[in-house]
Amino acid sequence: MKISNEGVCRFCLKTFSGSTMGRHLSACRTKKERDAGEAAAAKKVEKIFRIRVSAYGEFWLHLEMMASSTLADLDGFLRSIWLECCGHLSQFTIHGEAYVPENEDPEDIGAESMAVQLGKVLSVKDKFEYEYDFGSTTYLKGQIVSEREGTLKEKVRILARNRIPEVLCTHCGKPATRFCTECEDFYCRACLPKHGCEEGMALPLVNSPRMGVCGYTGEQDPDDFDRKDRAPDEAVKKRGLPEALIKYREAMKKKDTEL
């Protein structure tokens, strides 16, 4: 697996490494202009947290959420974009305290409920840990990077996300599209039927730390910014996306075709 660890700022559409994206987002002029415009038009502004979540060095997200949002809101988002496969249990750990979903009867297991506002348990620079599935566990780490006053139309705003790691087929060296959970190798579409394992053991390559685990396929991932099955140009334009983003997607399509 080739680990480029790069991602695209969703505001200026420039590419940065995972280690420099945070600094860029703090200085991004396009983001600042959008934040200021939204705040000026809003009837009420609130505290917004910028959150970084990462897993295993390869996967990372920069997000914004209202401080009044709950851990349950963040849990639901992480499940949808990175994790959900079979409704497994999950848990945040903050300052040594465990937080679990309300329907898991937190008091009975000596934990706190996720139905608590982010701003009640986290402050800027605070770190947290997150676990999904206590059998084949996926571990995430997070931190509140900064805060600002403003407004968000979304419950969770994605500021930047790593690009899917580039993986080559074990047999031919071309870009892989599947991971075999039996032999634990990567294959392109042409080589997959020839490699010997049952077809049902292969899972799609997805931009998630859950890739290849417990039948995860990424079908619930709501983020279509950098997906190969992104909407046609006309559909993109109807959604009112910036011209720069349309050009970015056209360039990505051309790259996919060349591969």
The pLDDT score that the predictor gives to residue 231 is 42
- Summary mean pLDDT of the chain: 87
The pLDDT score that the predictor gives to residue 215 is 86
Look up the CATH number of domain 6-162: 3.10.290.30
Could you tell me which residue, 121 or 216, shows the higher pLDDT?
A: 121
pLDDT at 237 over 70: no
Least confidently predicted of 59-63, 78-82, 183-187: 183-187
Nearest residue to 143 (alpha-carbon basis) of 106, 211, 95, 81: 95
Burial of 247 (0-12, 13-18, 19+ CB in 10 A): exposed
Which residue type does 157 have? R
Give the C-alpha separation, 205 to 164, whole Å: 8
The strand pair at 112-113 and 97-100 is best described as parallel
The pLDDT score that the predictor gives to residue 243 is 52
Q: Taking a C-beta distance cutoff of 8 angstroms, is the pair 50, 144 a contact?
A: yes
Give the C-alpha separation, 214 to 83, whole Å: 10
Give the C-alpha separation, 102 to 207, whole Å: 29
Select the highest-mean-pLDDT range: 38-47, 228-237, 244-253: 38-47
The pLDDT score that the predictor gives to residue 257 is 45
Q: Taking a C-beta distance cutoff of 8 angstroms, is the pair 88, 132 a contact?
A: yes
The pLDDT score that the predictor gives to residue 69 is 98
pLDDT per position as a tens digit, 3-20: 568 999 999 999 999 999
Give the C-alpha separation, 202 to 223, whole Å: 23
pLDDT at 250 over 80: no
Spans of all domains in the chain = 6-162, 178-258
Contacts by 179-184, CB closer than 8 A, 24 or more apart:
179/203, 179/204, 179/205, 179/211, 179/212, 181/212, 184/212
What would the mean pLDDT of 241-257 be, rounded to a whole number?
Answer: 52
The pLDDT score that the predictor gives to residue 165 is 82
Could you tell me which residue, 255 or 163, shows the higher pLDDT?
A: 163
pLDDT per position as a tens digit, 75-97: 999 999 999 999 999 999 999 99
The pLDDT score that the predictor gives to residue 201 is 86
pLDDT per position as a tens digit, 125-175: 999 999 999 999 999 999 999 999 999 999 999 999 999 888 899 989 999
Contacts by 181-190, CB closer than 8 A, 24 or more apart:
181/212, 184/212, 186/1
CB atoms within 10 A of CB 133: 19
The pLDDT score that the predictor gives to residue 76 is 97
pLDDT at 234 over 50: no
Give the C-alpha separation, 231 to 248, whole Å: 13
What would the mean pLDDT of 183-194 be, rounded to a whole number?
Answer: 89
pTM equals 0.84
Helix (H, G, I), strand (E, B) or coil at 89: coil
Could you tell me which residue, 192 or 230, shows the higher pLDDT?
A: 192
What would the mean pLDDT of 98-105 be, rounded to a whole number?
Answer: 94
Helices (H) and strands (E) in the chain — how many of each?
6, 13
Nearest residue to 113 (alpha-carbon basis) of 156, 67, 70: 70
Give the C-alpha separation, 81 to 209, whole Å: 10
pLDDT at 230 over 80: no
The H-assigned helical ranges of 118-232 are: 118-121
